[in-house]
Structure 1
Amino acid sequence: MSVLVDNDTRLVVTGITGREGTFHATNNKRYGTQVVAGVTPGKGGQDVEGIPVFNTIADSVDKAGANTAMIFVPPRFAADSILEAADAGIRLIIAITEGIPAHDELRVYTQLRRNPDVRLVGPNCPGILSPGKASVGIIPASFFKPGNVGVVSRSGTLTYQIGNELAQRGFGNSSIVGIGGDPVPGSSFIDIIELFEQDPETELIVMSGEIGGSAEEEAAEYIAANVSKPVVAYIAGFTAPPGKTMGHAGAIVSGNAGTARAKAEALEAKGVKVGRTPTETAELAMSLLGS
């Protein structure tokens, strides 16, 4: 099995006629994902390498049976695109767009909370990969193979590195979920860890966090109370200076809150093994899977 995306995923890509939208939509299609539609207002009736383009997401649902949306539009249009997908009946929305204004993210978060049937992953995320089944986003899918390790990460690049370290040791992944590094994520570590706990194929969970916010500490409490499977973690930013944003908008330390050390200590206090480097994290995962 896998989480969130699989062989039944029918993907619509908003912004498909843009350079990045075209590149990644066709990459996802070549991987085997059912990319059934694209959306660019005013360009309905066109196609992108055999993928039909519609003017609205509602049209893609009605005419192509889309059930999952990938958001690839510029930041100023992204919030409206996400909400359009929800209004059209899409239940899984994956927002790749980076640089969405924080007040737009808050507007989306507030509105989607009223509709618990809709799950947003991202924004500013690399997407979701279920190896051998479906790839939605920008994850370099060829690095990974099917297996029993579930990965959830705030950082795309670290997702690839840890996943590749595991692959080099012979382990594959049930699913890889990038939740993004913005201050207002649509899905949290807890949301995805809950799915991995319920997934019979996933035997070990790897979470990759970073400085800023309290998501990792909250996950530590949830894991202790609700998760029976082993969890290994990595926290990026042990050497990050206080008060300086490091890469993601949400990766900023304020005073003594949100440091990598504090997050690692919170996780370790709840029985989660924490690696100080991606390589060490992969070695910890390997030791648990091999035991």
Structure 2
Amino acid sequence: MSILIDKKSRVIVQGITGRDGAFHTKKMLEYGTHIVGGISPGKGGTTVEGVPVFNTMQEAVLETWADTSIIFVPARFAPDAIIEASESGIRLVIAISEGIPVIDMLRVKEVLKRNGTSMIGPNCPGLISPGKAMIGILPTNIFKEGHVGLISRSGTLTYEMVDQLTRNGIGQSTCIGIGGDPIAGLYYLELLELFEEDPETKAVVLIGEIGGDAEEIAAEFIKNHMTKPVVAFFAGQTAPVGKQMGHAGAIISSGSGTAQDKIACYEGLGIPVAREPEEIPVLVKKLLS
């Protein structure tokens, strides 16, 4: 099994006629993702890679029965695109767009909550259930179908960790890049719960970053509610205090949120932590043996 997406997911690409939208639509189709339509206002009636293009989300959902949407539009238009998807009945939105202002995401989150729409991102690489579907910009050649789930704030570290797992013969059930923005959609707690409920996921790799306390909150959930083993890795072990590192949410303030704080929290609760990426498959194999 997988979480969130599978072969039955019916996907709309918002911004399908743009450079990025068209390029990644082709890649997703090649992987077998079931893309049923695209959105580009004023270009309805055309096609991209054989996919019909619609002017509005409402029109597209009524015509295709889509349940999932991926956003490939510039940051200034992305909040309205996410809201349009939610108001049209889409159950899951994957927002790839980077640079969406926090104040706009606060408005978006209220709409998502009201409509019961889940979101991955923004500023994320998307997600993949190997052998079933990929919705995002992930390099599909490094993934292998299997039984280990993965959650990561970092897109690059998602690729690195997956490559380490695959090279060591460890397949994945679903891998999710949640993005590093301060205001985001589904995060560690919700995704850990989904993995806990998935009978095909046997273990979970959690990749965190400096800044905030989301990883520490997740650690308490893992300790109290997870029956499946979890292995963690934290980026930014040498990051200086007060300096933003890559993501908008990756900043240590007032001496809190350091990688050392997070490592100490996890190890204090008995959750294994890798110091280097290549240690991840070793720890996973040990816990599953």
In the comparison of the two structures, how many residue pairs are matched?
289
2:183 matched to which residue of 1? Answer: 184
The one-letter amino acid paired with 2:277 is P
Deviation string for 1:139-172 (max 9, x for gaps)? 1111111100000100011011111101011010
Does 2:49 align with 1:68? no
Gaps of 5+ in 2: none
2:106 matched to which residue of 1? Answer: 106
Does 2:40 align with 1:40? yes
1:210 matched to which residue of 2? Answer: 209
1:23 matched to which residue of 2? Answer: 23
1:138 matched to which residue of 2? Answer: 137
Distance in 2 between residues matched to 1:283 and 1:198, nearest whole Å: 24
Distance in 1 between residues matched to 2:185 and 2:67, nearest whole Å: 18
Distance in 1 between residues matched to 2:99 and 2:282, nearest whole Å: 34
Deviation string for 1:211-251 (max 9, x for gaps)? 01111001001111111000000000000011111011100
Q: Report the TM-score when normalising by structure 1.
A: 0.98
2:278 matched to which residue of 1? Answer: 279
The one-letter amino acid paired with 1:202 is T
Q: Which consecutive segments of 4 or more residues in structure 1 shift more than 4 A?
A: none
- Is the Cα contact below 8 Å between 1:211 and 1:237 reproduced in 2? yes
**1:281: Cα distance to partner?**
2.2
**1:31: Cα distance to partner?**
0.3
Distance in 2 between residues matched to 1:286 and 1:258, nearest whole Å: 29
Distance in 2 between residues matched to 1:113 and 1:259, nearest whole Å: 31
Summarize the alignment of residues 157-172 of structure 1 with structure 2, pairs less than 5 Å apart: 157-172=156-171
Distance in 1 between residues matched to 2:80 and 2:266, nearest whole Å: 36
Q: Report the TM-score when normalising by structure 2.
A: 0.98
**1:265: Cα distance to partner?**
1.1
**1:136: Cα distance to partner?**
0.1
- Is the Cα contact below 8 Å between 2:86 and 2:111 reproduced in 1? no
Gaps of 5+ in 1: none
SS of aligned partner of 1:286: helix
- Is the Cα contact below 8 Å between 1:223 and 1:270 reproduced in 2? no
2:77 matched to which residue of 1? Answer: 77
SS of aligned partner of 1:218: helix
Deviation string for 1:179-227 (max 9, x for gaps)? 1100011111111111000000000000100001111001001111111
